[in-house]
């Protein structure tokens, strides 16, 4: 798995845990998870990706704080992100996906940017464009 996809997956898991099990997602757990994932990477991620990942960690802390005071658990953790943080909760993931796509273009990251862009901006990104078309337009 690429560096960018590894960071995105880790951030999504932290968000999920912060929403569904906030008591198990304290600051030490978030810091340990971040250190573990960053240390496990074969190549260092681009600076912009690290910046976005760190912003995501701060959002995970805010999510945890919000859901720790609630008695109801949302049916889907993504709805919990929307409720607690709105569309800006997804911005670090979008920024991370964009930075990773620029650093190491691949179809999976292209799809991540498309999906996350829609979550943040409520409109498509590269609508109707395939990864190959997008890549050829960059050359």
pLDDT by residue, tens only, the chain of 139 residues: 789 999 999 999 999 999 999 999 999 999 999 999 999 999 889 999 999 999 999 999 999 999 999 999 899 999 999 999 999 999 999 999 999 999 999 999 999 999 999 999 999 998 889 999 999 887 6
pLDDT at 102: 94
Taking every pair of Cα atoms in the chain, the longest distance, rounded to a whole number of angstroms, is 52
pLDDT at 138: 75
Closest CA to 23 of 59, 58, 56, 70: 70
pLDDT at 137: 84
pLDDT at 139: 60
Judge contact between 104 and 44, C-beta under 8 A: no
pLDDT at 120: 96
Q: How many folded domains does the chain comprise?
A: 1
Model pTM? 0.93
Return the structure tokens found at 122: 């409520």
Residues 22-36 pLDDT 10s = 999 999 999 999 999
CA distances from 14 to 9, 22, 81, 108, 117 (A): 9, 10, 11, 20, 20
Residue with tokens 């409109």: 123
- Boundaries of domain holding 43: 3-138
């Amino acid at each position: 798995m690429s560096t960018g996809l590894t960071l995105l997956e880790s951030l999504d898991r932290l968000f999920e845990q912060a929403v569904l099990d906030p008591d198990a997602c304290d600051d030490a757990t978030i810091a340990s998870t971040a250190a573990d994932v960053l240390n496990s990477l074969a190549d260092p991620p681009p600076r912009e990706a690290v910046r976005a990942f760190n912003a995501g960690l701060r959002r995970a802390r805010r999510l945890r704080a919000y859901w720790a005071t609630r008695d109801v658990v949302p049916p889907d953790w993504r709805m919990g992100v929307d409720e607690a943080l709105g569309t800006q909760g997804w911005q670090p993931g979008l920024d991370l996906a964009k930075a990773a796509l620029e650093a190491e273009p691949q179809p999976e990251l292209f799809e991540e940017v498309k999906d996350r862009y829609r979550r943040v901006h409520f409109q498509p990104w590269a609508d109707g464009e395939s990864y190959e078309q997008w890549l050829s337009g960059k050359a």
